[in-house]
A and B are shown apart, each in its own frame.
Chain A
Amino acid sequence: MASDQVIHATGLRKRFGTVQALDGVDLTVARGEIMGLLGHNGAGKTTLVNILSTLTPPTSGTASVTGFDVVGRPDEVRRRIGVTGQFAALDEQLSGYDNLVLVARLCGASKAQAVGRADELLEAFGLRAAAGRRAVSYSGGMRRRLDLALGLVGCPDVLFLDEPSVGLDLPSRLGLWEMVQGLAREGTAVLLTTQYLEEADRLADRITVLGEGRVLVSGTAVQLKAQTGSGSISLRVGPQGDRAVAAEALRRAGFPPGVEGEPSELTVPAGDSADLAVVIRVLDAVGQNVSEIRYAEPSLDDVYLAFTATAPDTPAPAPGAIGRPAAPAPARTAHRSTTPEAERRSGDTPETP
């Protein structure tokens, strides 16, 4: 095992009664790396984080964090990790300041050290003004920041962030992202679980997609996007145009349009943005003008759907490897218009109950 691998898990399985929450997961994360753990509810993300953060033992398999076995040496692991969960793990009846001092004291700081550390973190997380107020009066964003600060009290080598953006508004989320990137630059390894594809895309150096307790695919965002093939061009035919004519011309030119919702819209697969000019020329040649046209990179949304849509029926690719989805993903446009999952995700901030 390479010395800069701070998370090293092999063959992790976890069973709750009849539910196989994890079914043989391998994972490595290096120092300073942000690993995005992507998957829908029930994919096993939280279970994996709970095992790695010593909250729950695996049914089988092994995992070490900073070189210490999570089952055999939990105390050593706990000295070196920080955890920010889906729910703020703080004392609502205490002030932000008292929360930080309490945790620092329990981590072994003297009174003076604890006060010093609390001051640093309050400053860094923009909580100075609210330091003396009880946490119960904090907004969602402030709570999340305090929660993250509490996870950082002991200067962890590994930070676990379990769906940190749930319930955060956009400015708070952007602030959180910056903060996480800053920590990774300083050498903290970050394991981030998320359902926000944008978040994984923006933050993660590598992404692991979990489904049904298995690793469906793992790699960089670029690698994953390459798996889902081409991007697409969406266009709107002008007011005097005829969509049927335009669609037929595009089909003949090698751009078969997908199923559309809006009457004047067309979406066609495209290799890259250079195809924009080609598409416009094709339409111009048949007398169709274009009122709106846009090229879209393949999104993580597409990656996610491509790999998870097939998860229940097909064997997963070898863990850790970049594998093709076992069955071709249905047309992207069909997904967008038919699956509630996609509908929900297309909203900016889906609220997870």
Chain B
Amino acid sequence: MNVPVKMAPLAEPAAGARVPRWRPAGRAAQLRVLTARQIRLVYADRRVVLFSVAQPVVMLLLISQVFGSLADRSILPRGVSYIEFLLPALLVTTGLGTSQSAGVGLVRDMEGGMVRRFRVLPLSLPLVLVARSIADLTRSGMQLLVLVIGGHLLFGYRAGGGVGGLVAALSLSTVVIWSLIWIFIALAAWLRKVEVLSSIGFFVNFPLMFASSAFVPVDVLPGWLAAVATVNPVSYAVEASRSLALGGQVGSEVPAALCAALGLMAVMMVLAARGFRRPPDE
């Protein structure tokens, strides 16, 4: 029910009159406030959080059983089980699902009113996107931990590279996932429609996920697919994560994966900021 608005206090100097104008918040302070808001949005619905965190474990269970039963041990690196081969790859590919939901979340946020208000506040607009990416990254972090714990409990997974190797693989995957999140933040900032984003998301995600070395070694793929998989940035990341987790010789995979991820992230950040800056009506 609407009641007539009480007017009295506004007529007095207390509420409406000039108060000393605040100095605009610094970028760090803005980012803190914005990130706290985005984290609230990402974790607003416990059910969504629960299912999204459980999702990678389901992937691990299904893919290990479906492909694992087919995979000829001889195509895997010597002495490596399929779980040992697969789990470090899932650390990376899990991020593809997360990144799509980050994009959808951003579109939903842009449809809501607060982002419209952000545009007329003395605010560095791209920080809204950075905040979104950080909030989604925290959820990815939880997914990765649940995946490793689930792998251990279900399949007795242990990283050949020990705890150090596992932590290194997790850290690298986190950086890679951050860059994948930015792909979808850029898409969301330009497309601004959940339906369009979801349908395009399929075309971005599935090739990145399957035309890679994530589930089988590249050399057993058909020639053309192997060629695609070799240039796929997800392959770099998967190779790097795998070699860190397996332990032993770590070659150029890690710097290559980091360079690919950071380069991708830089490009996507610029595109995203540009797309986001566009006024809603153009």
Contacts and interface: CB of A to CB of B under 8 A. Distances in A.
A121 B15 contact: yes
Nearest to A79: B122
Contacts of B121: 78, 103, 106-107, 154
A89 B117 contact: yes
A53 B280 CA distance: 13
Interface string A86-128: 0111111110000100111111110001000100110111100
A90 to B, nearest CB: 5
B122 A93 contact: no
B11 to A, nearest CB: 5
Contacts of A91: 37, 112-114
B16 A16 contact: no
Interface stretch (A175-183, A191-199, A245-253): A175-183
Interface stretch (A139-147, A203-211, A227-235, A288-296): A139-147
Contacts of A87: 113, 116
A28 interface: no
A93 B44 contact: yes
A90 B109 CA distance: 11
B66 interface: no
B124 to A, nearest CB: 9
Interface in B200-253: none
Interface residues of B, number: 45
A188 B11 CA distance: 13
A169 B3 CA distance: 10
B2 interface: yes
B9 A124 contact: yes
A331 B275 CA distance: 51
Interface in B111-139: 112-114, 116-123
B2 A169 contact: yes
Interface in B1-25: 1-7, 9-11, 13-19, 21-25
A117 B9 CA distance: 13
Counting chain A CB atoms within 10 Å of each CB, which of B17, B24, B114 scores highest?
B114
B15 A75 contact: no
Contacts, number: 149
A154 B18 CA distance: 9
A141 B176 CA distance: 46
Contact of B120 (A54, A94, A121): A54
A189 B114 CA distance: 24
B2 A107 contact: no
Given A78-B121, A124-B6, A88 B15 contact: no
A16 B281 contact: yes
Interface residues of A, number: 63
A16 B122 contact: no
A171 B37 CA distance: 33
Contacts of A220: none
Contact of A174 (B4, B11, B19): B4
Interface string B10-48: 110111111101111100011001100100110010000
A75 B24 contact: yes
Contact of A154 (B2, B4, B21): B21
A344 B202 CA distance: 47
B79 interface: no
Contacts of A343: none
B282 A171 contact: no
B279 interface: yes
Given A83-B117, A106-B121, A183-B16, 10 more contacts: A50-B281, A89-B113, A106-B33, A108-B25, A109-B22, A123-B9, A124-B9, A154-B121, A175-B6, A182-B7
15 contacts: A54-B120, A79-B122, A103-B121, A105-B25, A105-B33, A124-B15, A126-B3, A154-B122, A155-B17, A169-B2, A171-B4, A174-B4, A175-B4, A182-B7, A183-B16
